[in-house]
């Protein structure tokens, strides 16, 4: 676990957390490239990042003390790390971090080329409130950007219950993002909901049964 904003706070702590996660993914990719050349097994990682208030300080007992953070925001980050397996994504961030990034990114000079894709709204195990989860990519190709745009358009239609229109966007996204789990998953979910609509009051929250 890593945390930003303590013991010293900086204006770009939220941004630095995401850039660090992306650096870890890049480093893992280079490592795995070497592993493949040597005929050795690859090493895969999953990163979940959240933004929120926590309790920070020397926590523990007289026998063992650690300078660390605890709280619901920490627990959500841990749950999101587990969701990287469910959503086949190396990096997931919460909507709380997304909103903080969008608020502060224009203040950075120059702004980093980060592109976000909304994947779902989930209630992690032990919680009933849903939280939107995003994946982030740094400098994707032009083709990937088109896929991201179509996918995000599909998500907007999905939450408006326009399931067939959303399915069409996800299908088109799959052309630019071949073999992408999330675009295909949302397409299939929309087709299912178009045939059997969810009940009134549906808010798009997927309840997670495991960590």
Query: Do 5 and 69 belong together in one domain?
Result: yes
Query: Do 56 and 129 belong together in one domain?
Result: yes
Query: Do 158 and 90 belong together in one domain?
Result: no
Does residue 93 contact residue 134 with C-beta atoms inside 8 Å? Answer: yes
Residue 109: predicted pLDDT: 56
Query: Do 10 and 111 belong together in one domain?
Result: yes
Domain span at 204: 141-211
Query: Do 96 and 8 belong together in one domain?
Result: yes
Q: Give the DSSP letter string of the chain.
A: ----SSSS--TTHHHHHHHHHHHHHHHHHHHHHHHHHTT-------EEE-----EEEEEE-SS-EEEEEESHHHHHHHHHHHHHHHTT-SEEEEHHHHHHHHHHGGGSSSPP-EEEEEEEEEE-TT--S-EEEEEEEES--HHHHHHHHHHHHHHHHHHTT-HHHHHHHHHHHHHHSTT-HHHHHHHHHHHHHHHSPPPTT---EEEPS--
Query: Do 47 and 71 belong together in one domain?
Result: yes
Query: Do 41 and 76 belong together in one domain?
Result: yes
**Dihedrals phi, psi of 116, to nearest 5 degrees:** -115, 145
Residue 36: predicted pLDDT: 95
Cβ of 171: how many Cβ atoms within 10 Å? 17
Residue 188: predicted pLDDT: 97
Query: Do 115 and 152 belong together in one domain?
Result: no
Query: Do 188 and 130 belong together in one domain?
Result: no
User: Which residues, listed in sequence order, are joined to residue 65 by a DSSP beta bridge?
Assistant: 60
Residue 85: predicted pLDDT: 95
Query: Do 112 and 65 belong together in one domain?
Result: yes
Q: How far apart are the first and last CA of the chain?
A: 16
Total number of domains constituting the chain: 2
Domain boundary among 122, 139, 156: 139
Query: Do 168 and 125 belong together in one domain?
Result: no
Domain boundary among 92, 110, 139: 139
Query: Do 169 and 117 belong together in one domain?
Result: no
pLDDT per residue of the chain (211 residues) written in tens, 0 to 9: 999 988 888 888 999 999 999 999 999 999 999 999 999 999 999 999 999 988 888 887 778 888 788 889 999 999 999 999 999 999 999 999 999 998 876 655 566 688 999 999 999 887 778 999 999 998 889 999 999 999 999 999 999 999 999 999 999 999 999 999 999 999 999 999 999 999 998 999 988 876 6
Does residue 137 contact residue 84 with C-beta atoms inside 8 Å? Answer: no
The CA–CA distances, whole Å, from 163 to 118, 157, 167, 171 equal 16, 7, 6, 12
Residue 210: predicted pLDDT: 67
């Amino acid at each position: 676990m890593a945390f930003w904003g303590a013991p010293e706070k900086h204006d770009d702590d939220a941004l630095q957390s995401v850039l660090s996660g992306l650096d870890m993914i890049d480093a893992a990719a280079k490592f795995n490239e070497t592993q493949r050349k040597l005929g050795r097994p690859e090493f895969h990682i999953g990163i979940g990042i959240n933004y929120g208030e926590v309790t920070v300080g020397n926590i523990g007992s007289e026998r063992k003390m650690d300078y660390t953070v605890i709280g619901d925001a920490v627990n959500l980050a841990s749950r999101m790390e587990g969701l990287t397996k469910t959503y086949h994504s190396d990096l997931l961030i919460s909507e709380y971090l997304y909103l903080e990034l969008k608020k502060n990114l224009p203040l950075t000079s120059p702004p980093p080329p980060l592109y976000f894709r909304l994947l779902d709204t989930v209630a992690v195990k032990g919680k009933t409130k849903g939280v939107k989860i995003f994946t982030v990519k740094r400098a994707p190709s032009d083709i990937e950007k088109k896929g991201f745009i179509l996918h995000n358009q599909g998500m907007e239609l999905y939450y408006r219950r326009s399931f067939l229109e959303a399915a069409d966007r996800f299908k088109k996204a799959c052309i630019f993002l071949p073999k992408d789990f999330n675009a295909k998953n949302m397409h299939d979910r929309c087709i299912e909901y178009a045939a059997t609509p969810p009940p009134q009051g549906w808010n798009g929250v997927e309840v997670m049964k495991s960590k």
